[in-house]
Structure 1
């Protein structure tokens, strides 16, 4: 019994991981440089947040939403340092799974492995669905009508049909009155999709076809090879950053400083309401570390690539947030496409830029999906090597030098659910998974043996024995003073999942 229990926490020694690196790395192509890794990080982090969810975050936080990006970047900065040290010492594809296996044991590694699989799968599905929304909106902007029943999930259309029928029968409404009400635009679009959908055997054919198509296309690119993926990623990142910079430079001329007052209309609580949507993007750092066996010099380049991509992304997000909240009141930014809104007739009236912004959003979502699709198969591959998944998951394509079975399975796992699922609220779940991975990686650094090779990256040493408890005590006192109601309701079941990472941090500290 004792041996069985101890086996749950057995660790994979660092010398075995280094031996595996020397052996297994031969199966994958080493193509990635520092620039490629930095581009992959930017590709993953700058996505829907800067084109879409930043509007909702600005609505709740006002101009003070910039602090959200600053706080998040600082928090993730510490995590990146830990990832960087692991990457320099354990340059293998398993990312947080492998790091946990080496420091905290097999049980936690198994848990974080499946946590990452869920995190990547749900995140990829959400990104694919978001891409579909942007793509169909882009087509409609040019007068091309995509069938609504082939651009949404079955459940949304079914619920909309039921709700409209209820409004017509019990609410005394008419289709004309609902169509004229802007609050019901989305509802009517879903209702029309239900009514216009063809049926086979009484079953209506409603699915999100663009989400399926883009997932299969990206999966095919990832399968063909890391060299082709990096070329595509680098090109798309240049386009994406160019569009974001253009938006910032144009928007500056329409900024009205009075819109920045009040700066924090809803206080700190309003700022934190957008944290899940922002934090979701930082899974990109984990994705970079999964490419360790495809780096030319992983011990040197992985830490540099991770650290280089960190400051670029929040700086661009902060500038975009300042421009948005400066061009119009934060109260007007609770829209799906805030950049299109501020450059539309309501504010700047620059219709020619709408197509450029739409292209930027599509490119941004495509690169996010690409990096996520690169990450998940390599975690499966690492788990297959260690025997926690069947050996077929570790199979490498002899022609393309990529994890063949895992890549194909990832494409299927993401593509099929994206056809039928509505995942507008799964960002919170993915953010929780990201936080859990970050907590374990940061904890794992404490269990690494002392660094002897000075050429490898190492987290700057700070004795947190007294500092961490002091910080926790200070935060607890300030929280009780300025947010007493929140502290008293901390253990209320509603929204409790958002507090799990905070509890985990306290326990680890």
Structure 2
């Protein structure tokens, strides 16, 4: 006679690694398709990362940290590098859709896995919305330079503003219409399938890197070391606060691992793509930030929309480089939104396949092999956030979701080294357990630097996620429905 498991048993039950792999193999004919190459996967990581921040974040964070924002990038990059190593090991062990959610399910239990999934959903959804908001600024700047057309502010800005501990109406807009349009354009491309999306993203990333290389070369000609003084006008508190916010710009590292079921030779290519993307991203971040700071006084960054394009126009005295940069940003930031939306749909796909969400999220179009209904639902929700929420809150919320996910992955590496030392690994973190522990400490430190309103909004989101888990997900889980092999705490 089967007895219903208690809430504690449901929270702690784990899904064996072998079950993840067996399910992935059994669905290869009618599920997701493995057709993403190493190069395309690396471009996924770069595409989801460069543009998420560097095109927009300097205007927000230079006023917070001054030129010492360079140190903030290094701190965030150091934490991201430690976590990238942990992601490389976990993704080579469990090369399936779902990223941190799947890793937590195999190591820490169903309850915490669901909480991590909620953070991932917040991370990806909010990140896509934040980038879409920044994209509308560059689109408006491009239209203004090339045609003289100025869109009404009511259609470019959200009606909500963040002040202190609350969100309230009072913004100077009604809706950010271009941001919402961008999200639905990405939705259309994603519904065509992962291979087409990966190919389009790779092209856009190459355009993006070329545009940023042009910026570096031109801004270098106007470099003035005096613009970097005072270097840290707000002290280490400013550096720390900026580092916590900047960390969201490394969300692309997690996006790589969401493609675990659609990449060729995943045990080899997933860790390689993560590490290669990190090196490319950090190099471009530091060079762009350094020469942007050297090209204009720090006080000019505050409130500067489409900042990199404006800097080039001021440096060269010509609109042509600014037009090129704005056009490149409009094209390439599309890739950020595309990959981040892709990542969110794959997390929801994995949760639905495990019974945590309704089956509509794991329903795959038989022709394109894309989760079409899932993609439309995600795009609708993200478009609404982009249209009505202020960007500053969106960026910090993305950092919170990213940091929680990264912390769990690092903890998972430690747990599986002791629990499953014999499991096949395509990559192993060096200096174990020091580097995973440093990764956890770095992430917790950056979490502590985020604003109070972010903690409040995250707490509300976590409560809603817990209610969903208790009332629906825990009772509809695949493990609940009879796969008791996954309930053995010792695996």
TM-score by length of 1: 0.79
Please, which runs of 5 or more residues in structure 2 have no aligned partner?
162-168, 460-491
Preserved contact between residue 70 and residue 290 of structure 2 (Cα < 8 Å): yes
* 1:18 paired residue number: 21
Deviations 1:302-359 (A, max 9, x none): 11000000011111111112112222222322223332333234x5423321101211
- Answer yes or no: is 1:410 the counterpart of 2:378: yes
- Distance change in 2, residues 1:290/1:325 (3 Å): same
Shift of 1:432: 0.8
Preserved contact between residue 53 and residue 336 of structure 1 (Cα < 8 Å): no
Shift of 1:289: 0.8
| Distance in 1 of aligned mates of 2:330 and 2:450 | 39
Secondary structure of residue in 2 paired with 1:292: coil
Shift of 1:145: 3.3
* 2:398 paired residue number: 430
Preserved contact between residue 70 and residue 286 of structure 2 (Cα < 8 Å): yes
| Distance in 1 of aligned mates of 2:70 and 2:119 | 30
Please, which runs of 5 or more residues in structure 1 have no aligned partner?
157-161, 164-186, 194-205, 480-489, 502-509
Secondary structure of residue in 1 paired with 2:9: helix
* 2:427 paired residue number: 457
| Distance in 2 of aligned mates of 1:326 and 1:266 | 18
- Distance change in 2, residues 1:454/1:274 (3 Å): same
Secondary structure of residue in 1 paired with 2:54: helix
Preserved contact between residue 59 and residue 332 of structure 1 (Cα < 8 Å): no
Shift of 1:212: 2.5
Structure 1 counterpart of 2:113, from 85, 109, 115? 109
* 1:5 paired residue number: 8
Aligned residues: 439
Structure 1 counterpart of 2:85, from 60, 81, 87? 81
- Distance change in 2, residues 1:377/1:348 (3 Å): same
Preserved contact between residue 69 and residue 239 of structure 2 (Cα < 8 Å): yes
Structure 1 counterpart of 2:215, from 242, 247, 267? 247
Secondary structure of residue in 2 paired with 1:135: helix
| Distance in 1 of aligned mates of 2:450 and 2:49 | 32
Q: What RMSD, in angstroms, separates the aligned Cα atoms of the two structures?
A: 3.0
Deviations 1:75-122 (A, max 9, x none): 111111111111111111011110000000000011111221122222
Deviations 1:444-465 (A, max 9, x none): 1112134436662111242449
Preserved contact between residue 141 and residue 306 of structure 2 (Cα < 8 Å): no
Structure 2 counterpart of 1:300, from 268, 271, 289? 268
Structure 2 counterpart of 1:336, from 299, 305, 308? 305
Secondary structure of residue in 2 paired with 1:389: coil
Matches within 5 A, 1:260-409: 260-334=228-302, 335-345=304-314, 347-409=315-377
| Distance in 1 of aligned mates of 2:43 and 2:348 | 23
